[in-house]
Amino acid sequence: MAALIAVLAGDGIGGEVTAATVSVLEALSDKRALGLRFEHGLIGGAALDAGETPMPAATAALCERADGVLLGAVGGPKWAGNSPDRRPEQGLLDLRARLGVYANLRPVTPHPALLDASPIRRERLEGTDLLVVRELTGGIYFGRKSRTDTEAVDECRYTVTEIERIVRRAGTLAMGRRRRIVSVDKANVLETSRLWRETTTRVLENEFPEVDFEHMLVDAAAMHLISRPADFDVIVTENMFGDILTDEASMLAGSMGLLPSASLGDGGRGLYEPIHGSAPDIAGRGIANPVGTLLSAAMLLRHSLDDDASAGVLEAAVARTLDDGLRTADIAAGGESCNTDAFAAAVIKRL
């Protein structure tokens, strides 16, 4: 395979969870003769501290050469007072644009051994296996912005082309699952959501007639994610709604540290990262949960390297580690916990 993986640790616990994940990937590569290679680059606050922009030219060049990009986390209060173009998060936005990724995939499948770690009752969680497909390049995060002393404006904007391509991606993914889609919008209030609903209906009816779909307002979706999560299969939604709903959905799994994500475009190269942030309050203590990053690496193997078998081996090793009772502090529920590196070592033993 001889694939190159760009590793961008970023800020806070990003360095800890990516280092643990690279150690597992190296072991997996050795066992399965994958020939994986790793090169590291700076992004976010770490790049700023090195006198660079949030997305240095060297990092951009590395990512454009790589077969896939593994990211830790960016941001933190240290840089909160910076101007918008000097904030760590700008590095992530620039990276997404350079890679041409527009579809963020966030699977949420609570592990059976961790159902009691969630604040949601076990009987509501059982059978939950959903995938959120979030549009990444449009909406209020990327619209025109202005601010005066007395007013601030963030424009929410979507084009038909942006909506069509994310809905097609959701439709394709749904065909490989249970063939059900919920499209989330706010069409009772927002013009962009009305365009979203009309376009979604046309694409799914004309191109994916085998898929059952319904439209759901975002406030109702937030409620139903908690009250009946097992009823969802694929959720497709716009940028800000997806950002909020996936953080809510992380509580179904029991911790934000458990969930992976993949950001994909039309090519093979993708960006893979856990959904959690940089967690500066625990950074440097070696207690961060690496599961979200490990499962993100499995998504990299599957989607960018087209190696479903190796992805399955990694996912199974993580699952067996959890089945055997190993827990980091965030999911230990007051019981015995292990540190980041010990969890990674346990996964390596179970590959």
In degrees, to the nearest 5, what angle opens at C-alpha 125 toward C-alphas 111 and 187? Answer: 115
Q: What is the pLDDT of residues 225-255, one digit of tens each?
A: 999 999 999 999 999 999 999 989 988 998 8
Give me the pLDDT at residue 196, please.
98
Residues 160-167, mean pLDDT to the nearest whole number: 98
pLDDT tens-place string over residues 301-319: 999 999 999 999 999 999 9
Catalytic residue among 94, 102, 158, 186: 186
Q: What is the mean pLDDT of residues 293-307?
A: 97
Exactly one of 78, 129, 141, 212 is catalytic; which is it? Answer: 141
DSSP letters, 82-98, are: S-GGGSHHHHHHHHHHH
Specify whether the CB–CB gap between 36 and 67 falls below 8 A. no
Q: Which of 217, 229, 211 is nearest to 108 (CA)?
A: 229
**Full set of structural domains in the chain with CATH:** 1-108+254-351 (3.40.718.10), 119-238+247-252 (3.40.718.10)
DSSP β-bridge partners for residue 154 = 145
Measured at the CA of 29, the angle between CA 350 and CA 169, to 5 degrees, comes to: 95
Confidence at residue 333, expressed as pLDDT on a 0 to 100 scale: 80
Residues 197, 184: Cα–Cα separation, whole Å = 9
Instruction: Check whether 57 has a pLDDT greater than 80.
Output: yes
Mean pLDDT of 2-19: 97
Mean of pLDDT values over 125-150: 94
Give Cβ neighbours of residue 172 (< 8 Å, ≥ 6 apart). Answer: none
pLDDT tens digits, residue range 189-235? 999 999 999 999 999 999 999 999 999 999 999 999 999 999 999 99
Question: Can 219 be counted among the known catalytic residues?
Answer: yes
- Is residue 291 predicted with pLDDT exceeding 70? yes
Kindly name the residue from 67, 233, 243, 330 that is annotated as catalytic: 243
In this predicted structure, which of 55-64, 214-223, 236-245, 334-343 has the lowest mean pLDDT?
334-343
Q: What ranges make up the beta strands (E) of 205-247?
A: 212-217, 234-237
Q: Is the pLDDT of residue 40 over 90?
A: yes
Q: Mean of the pLDDT values across residues 67-77?
A: 97
- Respond yes or no: is residue 349 known to be catalytic: no
22 vs 251, higher pLDDT: 22
**Active site annotation includes 243:** yes
The average pLDDT across 125-145 equals 94
Show the tokens assigned to 61. Answer: 């060049």
State the amino acid at position 131 in one-letter form. Answer: L
Q: Which of 30, 49, 219, 306 is catalytic?
A: 219
Answer yes or no: is pLDDT of 1 > 80. no
266 catalytic? Reply is no
3-state secondary structure 148-182: CCCCEEECCCCCHHHHHHHHHHHHHHHHCCCCEEE
Give the global pTM.
0.93
**Number of other residues whose CB lies within 10 A of the CB of residue 94:** 18
What mean pLDDT value characterizes the chain?
A: 95
- Marked catalytic residue, from 129, 154, 212, 247: 247
Question: Known catalytic residue: 141?
Answer: yes
Q: Is residue 181 within 8 Å of 211, Cβ to Cβ?
A: yes
